[in-house]
Amino acid sequence: MNEMIQETLVGWSRSQFALTACYHWLFVPLTLGLAVVMAVMESIYVKTQDEFWKKAAQFWQKIFGINFAIGVATGIILEFEFGTNWSNYSWFVGDIFGAPLAIEGILAFFMEATFIAVMFFGWNKVSQRFHLASTWLTGLGATISAWWILVANTWMQHPVGMAFNPDTVRNEMVDFWAVAFQPMAITKFFHTVSSGWMTGAVFVVGVSCWYLLRGRNKRFALASIRVASVVGLVGILTVMFTGDRAGIQIAQNQPMKLAAAEGLEHGGAGAPFSIVPGIEVPKALSILATHDTEGVVPGIQDLLNGYTDNEGNVHLSADEKIRRGRQAVNAFAEYRKTVNKDSVTAIQARQTFEENQAYFGYGHIEKKEDLVPNITIVYWAFRIMIGFGCLLTLLLCLTLWFERRGTLAQKRWMQHWGVWSIPMVFLAGQAGWVVAEVGRQPWAIQDLMPVGVAVSGISASSVQVTFCLFLALFTILLIAEIRIMCKAIKNFRMED
């Protein structure tokens, strides 16, 4: 019964966090992408002094403003949830998680808030160059914000630069640079931000295609498509490059996530990549994960039962990790009990804890099968992300190609595709986060803390109530955003 209540609590707490994060991630990538598109357009205006580009930049700034206004502060709710639903986690991570979020709040948010005012209120009041700098700095502020959030997220996927203190029951930062600039964080930052550029670019292409279908604002639409396609292609190339880097890093640090994303039960050397069930590309997964056609990629069963990698390193079975984890948990409990009473026992317990600390989280795992994330969700989310990513790449290449040849305005099928690509790009982004977050289950912090331990000792019903409140609030906000945005798009007129 207790386990059922606990599972319900964890399930609802996770659902609430997922709901909040998914809504938040509808606004953020559009902010990041539109910021680049409008800044490029304003740069062209400052260079050419052509009023057309000023009006174009002002229109996309208006759309950016609507998105920013509706989306701003939706991420703060995630921080509420850390304190209320995930209090064990919040205490356990200590300042490591708090520091990047604090820097994000103070530095990046205020930078963004300052320059956004100059961008909106400063036309004809400040010099053209100062205004242009403010527009770029608005985007840079949003991007720096993303950096610190992604540093915090990466630390949960690959905790580094800290030491656990069993006296305070907190992790303490011992190397800020290792936390802030670990390779996984850098890869994640560029992968995520460039996917935002792609989102903004595809959105601009989609809206512009709608104008072409309606036979309105033709010059504006074609010029917007030209700029957005280039921004989007730069974004997608960066997404591809960093995605390749991420594949190797995940194979090294979160091999279960990779195995689940591939539905790979039994791995080995020369592992194939599954396009869809039943269709495989030989050796492609080994290339993605190791850059070697014969690289060893462990499958789910290999990870559960133990395996030997390319370099001959033996990786422990899940049962052995659980055994060592329970030793660590027992030693931790013993240390806490004896630290003020019996120094000899406490020293021994601490030594045993430190010897097995790397497997601490495994001590809370009931059975080894609990270490496998939901394969169906992760497998298909991965394919949605890559599949839609490929379709969007093709779209951006074709729109740029036809626009340069002067035939895009006649290709209505292309324009329809452009409009429908808007939901596609948002789905691709959401799917990417599903792979990242569902794929790392059951861990709140990889190998150190499973979600069942991270959750607060509160009632599941209180989480259910706030889940419903958020669902209502965010849905209203989303409807408001779509309505205001559609009105702004419909009312916009620009003579050709």
Which spans of this chain sit near another protein (rule: CB under 8 A)? Answer: 62, 65-66, 69-70, 72-73, 76-77, 80-81, 83-85, 87-88, 90-92, 117, 120-122, 125, 167-169, 319-320, 322-323, 326, 329-330, 332-333, 336, 363-364, 366-368, 453, 456-458, 462, 465-466, 469, 473, 477, 480, 484, 488
Instruction: Count the alpha carbons within 13 Å of 459 in the hemisphere toward its beta carbon.
Output: 3
On the CB side of 483, how many CA atoms lie within 13 Å of its CA? 6
Residue pair 444/451 in contact (Cβ under 8 Å)? The answer is yes
Closest CB 489 distance from another protein, rounded Å:
12
Residue 172 β-bridge partners: 163
Extended beta strands in 202-289, E state:
268-269, 273-276, 279-281
Distances (CA, A) of 235 to 2, 14, 192, 197: 48, 30, 10, 5
Judged by beta carbon, residue 406 or residue 491, the one nearer another protein is 491
> Residue 129 or 405: which CB sits closer to another protein?
129
Please say which residue, 218 or 336, places its beta carbon nearer to another protein: 336
Examine residue 272 and say whether the peptide bond preceding it is cis (omega within 30 degrees of 0): no
Minimum Å gap between C-beta 335 and another protein is 9
Q: How far is the CB of 142 from another protein (least distance, A)?
A: 16
Residue 42 Cβ, how far from another protein at the closest point, in Å?
18
Residue written as token pair 């990513």: 389
DSSP label at 348? H
Nearer to another protein, 237 or 480 (CB): 480
Q: What is the largest CA-CA distance in the chain?
A: 85
Q: How far apart are CA 100 and CA 98, in angstroms?
A: 6
Read off the DSSP letter of residue 280.
E
Shortest Å distance, C-beta 473 to another protein: 6
What are the C-alpha distances in Å from 160 to residues 54, 110, 251? 46, 28, 17
Q: What's the min distance (Å) between Cβ of 29 and another protein?
A: 20
DSSP 357: G
Nearer to another protein, 59 or 147 (CB): 59
Instruction: Give 6 or 252: the residue with its C-beta nearer to another protein.
Output: 6
Nearer to another protein, 128 or 238 (CB): 128
Minimum CB separation from another protein for residue 456, in Å?
Answer: 4
